[in-house]
Amino acid sequence: MDYEIELKPLGEWTFQVDVTGARKTHHRVALDPGYYKKLTAGRISAAELVERSFRFLLARESNSSILASFDLGVIGRYFPEYEDMITIRD
């Protein structure tokens, strides 16, 4: 299924993510600055990391299965391959 993802910053490290698919869902996502640096080394924006993370999730589950509110760091608890697949490398 194709999903449309819309991000709205709620602060420097918090985003509202609206995902439209078979139905529309709303998510509040927090991002720890240290975790952001670990995954991206600052090479992409925090918003881009959140969007890429949602694309990762949506490839594995429906938008209605994604938690309504979470810290980006919890994705790895559910999907151990997350960090390896999402980390920006040289």
Q: Which two tokens stand for residue 42?
A: 């600052």
State yes or no: pLDDT of 1 exceeds 90: no
Tell me how far CA of residue 68 lies from CA of 29, 55, 57, 63, in angstroms. 8, 16, 13, 10
Q: What is the mean pLDDT of residues 9-27?
A: 96
What letters, b where the CB count within 10 A reaches 16 and e where it falls short, cover 23-60? Answer: eebebebbbeeebbeebbeeeeebeebbbbbbeebbee
Compute the distance between CA of residue 70 and CA of residue 10 in angstroms, rounded to an integer: 14
Confidence of residue 90 (pLDDT cuts 50, 70, 90): low
